[in-house]
Amino acid sequence: MSKKLLLEIVTPDRKVLSQDVDYVGAPGALGEFGVLPNHIPFLSALGIGNLYYKDAGKTHYVFVSGGFAEVSPDKVTILAEAAEKATDIDLERARKAQERAQQRLARAQDKIDYARAQAALRRSLARLTCRNSGDKAGTC
């Protein structure tokens, strides 16, 4: 039997996931990174995007919004500001958030409003992408 990684995803509100997996791919602040068992330890800031993990030949998706990843040889801990499994994402809510963000971008009065609207748009698009990926894979 091959060695596994323990993947734990935690937000300030709850533990989203705790599972043994074969591989983890995450949206690092400087680009996506991948982790297999026995990886060298490191810390990374996370961006807004979709984390995915593989287990028993299936790919599962989780939306994450910022935070940090701690990698050790046998464990990946994700401390995220927000995280949702693909199947838990409310598509209608994500679409409405996308529309609101696009409207705010169109009428942004200053750089702060514009930056907030851009971040909101990135989050809503990542949720929609994650949810659609989960649908296609039929997993999560």
Q: Work out the percent of the chain whose per-residue pLDDT is above 70.
A: 82
Amino acid at 49: G
Q: Work out the percent of the chain whose per-residue pLDDT is above 90.
A: 51
Nearest to 67 by CA among 45, 84, 50, 51: 45
- Mean pLDDT along residues 4-8: 97
List, for residues 81-120, the tens digit of each pLDDT value. Answer: 988 887 776 667 767 877 777 777 777 666 666 677 777 7
- Mean pLDDT along residues 32-51: 94
What is the spatial distance between Cα 119 and Cα 84, in angstroms, rounded to a whole number? 17
The structure's pTM equals 0.71
Nearest to 63 by CA among 139, 137, 135, 129: 129
Residue 139 banded pLDDT, cuts 50, 70, 90: very low
**Which residue is it, tokens 């300030």?**
12
